[in-house]
């Protein structure tokens, strides 16, 4: 297991949509060992400041083995991501990763990937991985507006033709939510399919409701506040499915879970 904790340089940093950025970081060993669904913890504070205190978790959106880089997509939502958006290429960021357990890579039967919002990041990584291995998958990506998706797809070199796109305002692809195309897909398949999904909680719940009993496996990537990202603090608890009061820890047991194991 390779696990890096060091300062890594920003090589590429650009805005790809409203408040959405792509960040390319020089981290050859992370690039080499990262698996789809894994994440990194990134320090966002200035060199000699203590605030914001915690590192922020971001999914790896893809890696570039040749350049030895990893890429993440992020949206500016609060203090940390705002600070992050201001760093220039050349700046060093504290990087810890790759972390967590990613998506199942070998699956039998048909495969459907679903990503919503910034949840497209690990789905893009997974999709690229599958394609590179010569396999195939249906990939459904959703966003509120086309703006949010276009730049991200371009940056990650994914052709609009290869994926199914939905936008809430209909400005790109089909108007509506990812569950629309997903429902259609599910009508046409047998029970031996796998769905692998990442996105906001309501989306994951909807995907789970839709696919109930219709697929062999639904894997979902979850989020929670994290302090350490490596199993030290037990802060990232998420309720297990079942009657007993038990928790999984997203950073260590996940972030990707079999949907049957966790409450959505």
Ligand X SMILES: Cc1cc2nc3c(=O)[nH]c(=O)nc-3n(C[C@H](O)[C@H](O)[C@H](O)COP(=O)(O)OP(=O)(O)OC[C@H]3O[C@@H](n4cnc5c(N)ncnc54)[C@H](O)[C@@H]3O)c2cc1C
Ligand Y SMILES: Cc1cc2nc3c(=O)[nH]c(=O)nc-3n(C[C@H](O)[C@H](O)[C@H](O)COP(=O)(O)O)c2cc1C
Residues near ligand X (CB under 6 A): 39, 52, 54, 56-59, 72-75, 77-81, 118, 121, 223-226, 255
- When asked if residue 101 is in the footprint of ligand FES (CB under 6 A), the reply is no
Residues 148, 61, 63, 224, CA torsion sign = positive
Q: Kindly write out the interface string for residues 207-236 of this chain, putting x where it contacts other proteins by CB under 8 A and - elsewhere.
A: -----------------xxxxx-xxxxxxx
- When asked if residue 3 is in the footprint of ligand Y (CB under 6 A), the reply is no
Which residues between 24 and 63 bind a copy of itself (CB under 8 A)? 45-52
46 binds, among ligand FES, a copy of itself, ligand X, none (CB under 5 to 8 A by kind): a copy of itself
CB atoms within 10 A of CB 134: 6
Residue with tokens 């203590």: 50
Q: Kindly write out the interface string for residues 63-102 of this chain, putting x where it contacts a copy of itself by CB under 8 A and - elsewhere.
A: ---------------xx--xx--x-x--------------
Q: What is the C-alpha to C-alpha distance for residues 220 and 62, in angstroms, rounded to an integer?
A: 18
Size of the site for a copy of itself (CB under 8 A): 14
Q: How far is the CB of 254 from ligand FES (least distance, A)?
A: 9
- When asked if residue 238 is in the footprint of a copy of itself (CB under 8 A), the reply is no
Q: Kindly write out the interface string for residues 199-238 of this chain, putting x where it contacts ligand FES by CB under 6 A and - elsewhere.
A: ---------------------------xxxx-xxxxxx--
Select from 116, 164, 104 the least CA-distant residue to 139. Answer: 164
- Axis crossing angle, helix 179-187 with helix 201-211, rounded to the nearest 10: 20
Q: Kindly write out the interface string for residues 217-236 of this chain, putting x where it contacts ligand Y by CB under 6 A and - elsewhere.
A: ----------------x-x-
Select from 264, 253, 221 the least CA-distant residue to 60. Answer: 221
72 binds, among ligand Y, other proteins, ligand X, none (CB under 5 to 8 A by kind): ligand X
Length of the chain: 264
- When asked if residue 2 is in the footprint of ligand Y (CB under 6 A), the reply is no
Is residue 52 reached through a cis peptide bond, with omega within 30 degrees of 0 on the bond before it? yes
- For 78-92, b/e burial (b = at least 16 CB within 10 A) is eebbebbbeeeeeee
Residue 192, helix vs strand vs coil: coil
- 8 A C-beta contact, residue 74 and residue 19: no
Q: Which is nearer to ligand FES, 40 or 150 (CB)?
A: 40
Residue whose beta carbon is closest to ligand X: 78
Q: What is the C-alpha to C-alpha distance for residues 247 and 78, in angstroms, rounded to an integer?
A: 27
131 binds, among ligand FES, other proteins, ligand Y, none (CB under 5 to 8 A by kind): none
Binding site for ligand FES (CB under 6 A): 226-229, 231-236, 249, 251-252
């Amino acid at each position: 297991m390779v696990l890096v904790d060091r300062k890594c340089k920003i090589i590429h940093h650009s805005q790809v949509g409203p408040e959405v950025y792509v960040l390319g970081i020089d981290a050859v060993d992370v690039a080499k060992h990262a698996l789809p669904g894994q994440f990194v913890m990134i320090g966002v504070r200035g060199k000699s400041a203590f605030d914001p205190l915690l590192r922020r978790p971001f999914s790896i959106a893809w890696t570039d083995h040749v350049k030895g880089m990893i890429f993440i997509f992020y949206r500016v939502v609060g203090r940390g991501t705002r600070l992050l958006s201001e760093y220039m290429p050349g700046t060093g960021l504290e990087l810890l990763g790759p972390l967590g357990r990613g998506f199942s890579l070998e699956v039998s039967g048909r495969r459907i990937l679903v990503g919503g919002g910034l949840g497209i990041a690990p789905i893009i990584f997974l999709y690229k991985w599958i394609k590179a291995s010569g396999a195939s998958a249906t990939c459904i990506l959703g966003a509120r507006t086309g703006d949010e998706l276009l730049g991200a797809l371009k940056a990650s070199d994914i052709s609009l033709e290869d994926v199914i796109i939905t936008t809430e305002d209909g400005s790109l692809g089909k108007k509506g939510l990812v569950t629309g195309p997903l429902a259609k897909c599910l009508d046409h398949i047998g029970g031996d399919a796998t769905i692998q999904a990442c996105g906001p909680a309501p989306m994951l719940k909807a995907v789970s409701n839709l696919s109930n009993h219709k697929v062999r496996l639904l894997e979902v990537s979850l989020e929670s506040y994290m302090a350490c990202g490596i199993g030290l603090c037990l802060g990232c608890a998420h309720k297990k499915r079942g009657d007993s009061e038990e928790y999984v820890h997203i950073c260590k047991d996940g972030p990707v879970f079999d949907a049957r194991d966790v409450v959505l």
